[in-house]
Structures are given as structure tokens and as C-alpha cells.
């Protein structure tokens, strides 16, 4: 099970990125149910983490416009397992999308000290 928290009304889940030298970097990501891929990170974070470029894709943004977005590869720890995932280089806040939540149940209590859980189904 993965636990998160509510911060300023946003559902936040930590994602552990496996970097060179087998060190982990934990980044708190906003859960975005309107984003159907795995993860986004700001381009500056991807550059600092030296994530390899994989490809690029056209995406439709929330405002209806289209953009060409670089896609990088990252190794993450997800529910106790190492996974290779695509990370889109865009935005200013790390986002966690629904592709990473496939096969899991997300439970959120929108209350002071509310519980956020991600559990394997």
C-alpha cells in the first residue's frame, strides 16, 4: 500500500525515483485524474535527474491547445516494485496520472488529516 496526503486541497502521492548509484529521490506528485499517462515532471527536474530522452508526442492540453512534449524514461519504486515508466517533460508541478493507478484503488478522505491510500486491487 502507498500512502499520501492532502495538501492545500490537492491529493499528493510520493513517487520514489531510482537514480544512478541506486539512490532514491522522493518527489510528491499531485494526482490528476484528467491525465491518462503515468507522470509529468517540470523540464528542469528531468534535466537535474538526467533522465534519458525516449521520444516525443503531441498532446492536447487542458486549454484545448496542442503541444509537442518530450518523453523521458525513469525507474521508480511503485508499491514495492521497480517499474520503468514514461515521464512527460511539462508543467511546473509533478503530476501522477491514471496510467500509474491502473490495477489499484485510490481512496481519499477530503477532511483535515484525511487519509490517502493507493492499494493493489
- The Cα–Cα gap between 105 and 101 comes to 7
> Which residue bears the cell 484545448?
64
pTM, two decimals, is 0.89
Distances (CA, A) of 48 to 8, 32, 42, 43: 27, 23, 10, 9
Residue 121 — pLDDT band, cuts 50, 70, 90? Answer: very high
Name the residue with higher pLDDT: 23 or 117.
117
CB 115 within 8 A of CB 6: no
Domain ranges of the chain: 2-120
> Is the pLDDT reported for residue 120 higher than 80?
yes
Q: What share of the chain has pLDDT > 70, as a percent?
A: 100
User: Which cell goes with 95?
Assistant: 503530476
Q: Is the pLDDT of residue 8 over 80?
A: yes
Is 2-120 assigned to CATH 3.40.50.300?
no
E-only strand ranges, 1-121: 2-7, 10-19, 23-31, 39-41, 53-60, 66-78, 81-89, 95-96, 104-108, 116-120
| Tens-digit pLDDT profile for residues 11-64 | 999 999 999 877 889 999 999 998 999 999 999 999 999 999 999 999 887 788
Residue 22's pLDDT is 79
Backbone phi and psi for residue 67, each to the nearest 5 degrees, phi listed first: -145, 155
Q: Residue 98 carries which DSSP code? A: H
Amino acid at each position: 500500500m502507498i500512502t499520501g496526503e492532502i495538501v492545500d486541497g490537492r491529493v499528493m502521492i510520493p513517487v520514489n525515483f531510482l537514480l544512478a548509484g541506486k539512490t532514491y529521490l522522493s518527489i510528491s506528485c499531485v494526482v490528476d485524474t484528467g491525465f491518462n499517462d503515468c507522470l509529468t515532471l517540470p523540464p528542469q527536474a528531468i534535466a537535474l535527474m538526467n533522465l534519458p530522452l525516449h521520444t516525443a508526442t503531441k498532446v492536447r492540453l487542458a486549454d484545448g491547445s496542442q503541444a509537442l512534449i518530450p518523453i523521458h524514461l525513469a525507474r521508480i519504486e511503485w508499491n514495492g516494485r521497480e517499474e520503468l515508466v514514461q515521464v512527460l517533460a511539462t508543467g511546473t508541478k509533478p503530476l501522477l496520472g491514471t496510467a500509474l493507478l491502473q490495477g489499484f484503488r485510490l481512496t481519499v478522505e477530503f477532511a483535515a488529516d484525511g487519509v490517502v491510500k493507493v492499494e493493489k486491487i
